[in-house]
């Protein structure tokens, strides 16, 4: 089973790692066969599985249920699980709720925010819970942002995001996830923290890892699809099409061909 040390080693060796969201055992098994390096049990399940408008209604019980299902189906990938909206607003909530998903099979928890989460990151890490901090476009704050939009478009905003990364890394964050930021910023942050693997979604091709929502990359998102998504299913056919789409995604992340320029936000900072 892939560990956090393996992801750090992949970064140290200048290689890339693949990550997909996953919520159930059969998809998890297909991802194991395709050798996907890591899986995120994302609170995006509020939309993809539960049919809701946002991630806000998702509960910690939902996350534990899906984490356990994924872990039972997959013995290979590194598993991280989102702490959903308002389940880490106090230190005690963060500890109790992290315990729930770690006992369900997660190897790491993911929280959304910035420097203000430093104490939470420090306390969780001290208690044996590795933390990934998700920065940039953080969907739990969609009502603060007023929609799903590119973040850190100016040098000033990019420097503020870098300062947030530095604060949480100093507090002990073991992984960073950047969503919807200019490619140049994804590259800068990846290079600034040589010990910390950085995963991107809409953050350019220079981050150490890439993540996509599985329904997006299988062409199962109807209506508007984000610019950073590539449909890997389109290129497949036959009864192993889903498995082949996962293999194609893994290969494209590893060889750096995904994301291509058309899936990248180019902004001069
Ligand atoms: O919940 C989720 O799927 C996520 C990804 C968008 C990174 O946080």
What atom of ligand 1 comes closest to residue 21's alpha carbon?
Answer: 3
Instruction: Report the pLDDT averaged over residues 171-185.
Output: 98
Would you say the CB of residue 42 lies under 6 angstroms from ligand 1?
yes
Q: How far apart are CA 243 and CA 221, in angstroms?
A: 18
Establish whether 156 is a catalytic residue: no
Q: Residue 7: name the closest of 176, 146, 244, 123 by CA.
A: 176
- Tell whether ligand 1 has an atom less than 6 A from the beta carbon of residue 213: yes
Residue 105: strand, helix, or coil: coil
Contact 84, 140 (CB under 8 A): yes
How confident is the model over 220-240, as pLDDT tens digits?
A: 999 899 999 999 999 999 999
Ligand 1: atom nearest CA of 112 is: 8
Nearest CA to ligand 1 atom 4: 42
Catalytic residue, from 32, 179, 188, 206: name it.
179
| CB of 173 closer than 6 angstroms to any ligand 1 atom | no
The whole-model pTM stands at: 0.98
Q: How many CB atoms lie within 10 A of CB 246?
A: 28
- Per residue, what are the HEC states of 50-70? CCCCCCCCCCHHHHHHHHHHH
Distance of alpha carbon 8 from alpha carbon 12, whole angstroms: 6
Q: Per-residue confidence at 183, pLDDT binned at 50, 70, 90?
A: very high
Q: Are 163 and 174 in contact (CB under 8 A)?
A: no
pLDDT digits (tens, 9 = 90+) for 30-59: 999 999 999 999 999 999 999 999 999 999
Contacts of 35 (CB under 8 A, 6+ apart): 76, 247, 250
Q: Is the CB of 39 under 6 A from ligand 1?
A: no
Contact 83, 108 (CB under 8 A): no
Q: Which atom of ligand 1 is nearest to the CA of 139?
A: 8
CA torsion through residues 143, 146, 152, 157, sign: negative
């Amino acid at each position: 089973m892939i560990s956090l040390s393996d992801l750090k080693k992949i970064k140290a060796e200048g290689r890339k790692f693949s990550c997909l969201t996953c919520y159930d055992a059969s998809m998890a098994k297909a991802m194991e066969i395709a050798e996907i390096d890591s899986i995120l049990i994302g609170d995006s399940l509020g939309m993809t599985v539960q049919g809701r408008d946002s991630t806000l209604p998702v509960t910690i019980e939902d996350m534990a249920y899906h984490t356990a299902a994924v872990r039972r189906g997959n013995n290979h990938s590194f598993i991280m699980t989102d702490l959903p909206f308002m389940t880490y607003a106090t230190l005690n909530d963060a500890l109790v709720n992290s315990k729930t998903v770690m006992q369900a099979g997660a190897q790491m928890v993911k929280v959304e925010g910035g420097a203000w989460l430093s104490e939470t990151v420090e306390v969780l890490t001290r208690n044996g819970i590795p933390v990934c901090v998700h920065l940039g476009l953080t969907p739990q704050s969609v009502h603060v942002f007023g929609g799903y939009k590119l973040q850190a478009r100016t040098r000033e905003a990019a420097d503020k995001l870098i300062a947030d990364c530095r604060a949480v890394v100093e507090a002990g964050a073991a992984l960073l996830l950047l969503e919807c930021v200019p490619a140049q910023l994804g590259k800068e942050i990846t290079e600034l923290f040589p010990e910390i693997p950085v995963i991107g979604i809409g953050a350019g091709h220079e981050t150490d890892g890439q993540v996509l929502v599985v329904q997006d990359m299988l062409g199962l998102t109807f209506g508007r699809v984000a610019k950073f998504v590539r449909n890997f299913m389109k290129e497949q056919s036959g009864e192993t099409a889903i498995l082949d789409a996962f293999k194609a995604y893994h290969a494209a992340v590893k060889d750096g061909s995904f994301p291509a320029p058309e899936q990248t936000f180019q902004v001069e900072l």
